[in-house]
Amino acid sequence: MADPLILALDQGTTSTRAILFDAKGRALAESGRPLEQFYPADGWVEHDAEAIFAASAEVLREAVQKAGRAMAEVAAIGVTNQRETVVIWDRATGRPIHRAIVWQDRRTAGACDELRAAGHEPKVTEISGLLLDPYFSGTKIAWLLDHVEGARARAEAGDLLAGTIDAWVIWKLTGGKSHATDATNASRTLLFDIRKQAWSDEMGEMLGVPLGLMPQVLDCAGDYGETEASLLGRAIPIRGVAGDQQAALMGQGCIRPGEMKATYGTGCFMLLNTGETAPVSKARLLTTVAARIGGKATFALEGAIFIAGAAIQWANEGLKIGGGPQGVEALAKQANDELGVVLVPAFTGLGAPWWDAGARGAIVGLTRDAGLPEIARAAFDASALQTRDLIEAMRADAPQALHDQAELRIDGGMSRSAWFSQRLADLTGVAVGRATYGETTALGAALFAGVGAGVYRDVAEAAAARPKTEAFAPAMDAPRREAAYARWLDAVGRVRS
């Protein structure tokens, strides 16, 4: 095919978007739809799975139309998705038995507590690389089977199917011909043995999930079938799938051990490629599948920061600093660094490596000379210092992977600020590479699909198609950097529960 195009479907938590890329990794057009959130009870979050599929088909069509191109030019579709959100649907009718339960949902916290109290968490981590937390999919599936009338009996009779959003959308796009997921999404369910690369009977029994519900697990660049011709005007191969953070890892070109990326949105997800080694974290980081190509899995350590950009939003709205993020940044640039003000944004507890749900936020080090500029700067610095926490944990867990010359590749809303990007380099002591194209998640899905469709010879050629990064080298002297980190650790100690 001359000048092949690749369509990426990026099904996220708040929107469903499609972006059309050429083989050089350039975005030609995009289309999107917002996604309604449902909150039926405190801590519960749900999505309408049928609405997700309808929007997916619409945006795929529109992206190609907006580019003024023909569907015949599209070599393949790549899918990326909000990872732990799950759907269960009827095999015969294709109708969901309940709204999708979203990754943010906390309704299974009690079930996780019971399993932890019974001493199961070490085995869970050994098999899945994860921790017992309602964030992951397995306990959500069990909840649906136990709370939707007749669901468990129907599941055991083989009448139901389950999967993360990628599996649901693929099943619908292919007219029910393909019930498949990829290894990265499977690795977020608690049900997948990441070392054996297969669904785990032991985890299925522990969580009460019949594994016959679950989709076939394929490579990130694999054959997921073809779309029904009536949906998009012709049958298009689906050749790439990855969960959103792993897709961003690919979109950032982090395909070798030691390469790492961080996405700064409301929170921050940071992944370090550890190659064929799946390290067991001593710092309660997650061990997850980074990618699987040609049947061979590579792994990553993952750390989650709960509050990153949300601290800037709080400064903007809670402290009444006007002008949006740019207004907070302008004020932060006026701060006196010598005053040593620290903000610990533990608004909903602390994530990795602390995992302290009872911690609460605090501003530490206020003096009569300090004011809004210092607090504004501390809001930005909090993301950089939490990143340093993750880097130190990853350095301890995977010393062979995280070498001294490592570069942290960044994307997401906060990365658009050159000032923050430099501050991040200064406070972590690690070189920072800022993506010049922001939609790295969609790009990663497209690159995987390009490998699966033969547009690229291999992953290395695909990764070379990503846009170049803008470099930021640490400029702060080491004593000043270490003093800032010591103040941060002291402040974290003060808010720990």
pLDDT tens readout for residues 185-236: 999 999 999 999 999 999 999 999 999 999 999 999 999 999 999 999 999 9
At 3-18, the pLDDT tens digits run 899 999 999 988 999 9
Of residues 191 and 109, more confidently modeled: 191
> H or E element: which one contains 384?
helix 372-397
- Name residue, tokens 């997948």: 192
What is the model's pLDDT at position 284? 86
> Average pLDDT in the 345-358 region?
86
Dihedral angle of Cα 310, 34, 165, 260, to the nearest 10 degrees: -40
238 pLDDT higher than 60 = yes
**What mean pLDDT value characterizes the chain?**
93
> pLDDT band at 358, cuts 50/70/90?
confident
Average pLDDT over residues 421-426: 97
- What pLDDT digit, counting tens, does each position of 26-82 carry? 999 999 999 999 999 988 999 999 999 999 999 999 999 999 998 999 999 999 999
d(CA 412, CA 415): 6
At 401, the pLDDT band (50, 70, 90 cuts) reads confident
Tokens of 234: 């012709």
What's the pLDDT band for 402 if we cut at 50, 70, 90?
confident
pLDDT digits (tens, 9 = 90+) for 295-313: 999 999 999 888 898 899 9
Residue 129 has pLDDT above 60, yes or no: yes
| CA proximity to 279, closest of 263, 262, 298 | 298
Domains and their CATH numbers in the chain: 5-244 (3.30.420.40), 253-435+467-497 (3.30.420.40)
Q: Is the pLDDT of residue 1 over 70?
A: no
Does the structure show a pLDDT above 80 at 357? no
| Res 490 pLDDT > 80 | yes
pLDDT at 355: 81
What's residue 43's pLDDT? 86
Instruction: Quote the pLDDT of residue 285.
Output: 93
pLDDT for the residue 2: 61
Whether the Cβ atoms of residue 189 and residue 153 lie closer than 8 Å to each other:
no
Beta bridge partners of 434: 410, 470
**Token code pair at residue 272:** 């370090």
Is the peptide bond preceding residue 134 cis, with omega within 30 degrees of 0?
no
Query: Which residues are paired to 236 by β-bridges?
Result: none
Picking from 297, 300, 280, the residue whose alpha carbon sits closest to that of residue 288 is 300
Rounded to an integer, what distance in angstroms lies between the CA atom of residue 473 and that of residue 478?
13
pLDDT(386) > 80: yes
| 151-160, 321-330, 409-418, range with greatest mean pLDDT | 151-160
Whether residue 469 is predicted with pLDDT greater than 70 in this model: the reply is yes
- Quote the CA–CA distance of 492 and 496 in Å, as a whole number: 6
Model pLDDT, residue 323: 86
On whether the CB atoms of residues 266 and 308 are closer than 8 A, the answer is yes
pLDDT at 104: 86
* Residue 450 near residue 75 (C-beta atoms within 8 A): yes
CA angle 414, 419, 422 (to 5 degrees): 95
- Mean pLDDT confidence for 452-456: 95
**Average pLDDT score over residue span 329-347:** 93
pTM score, whole prediction? 0.90
Smallest CA-to-CA distance from 173 within 18, 286, 279 is with 18
Using an 8 Å Cβ cutoff, are 133 and 124 in contact? no
Helices (H), 10-76: 49-66
Alpha-carbon distances, residue 147 vs 140, 152, 154, 343, 401 (angstroms): 10, 9, 13, 42, 44
Which pLDDT value is given to residue 346? 92
pLDDT (mean) for 417-428: 96
| pLDDT for 95 beyond 80 | yes
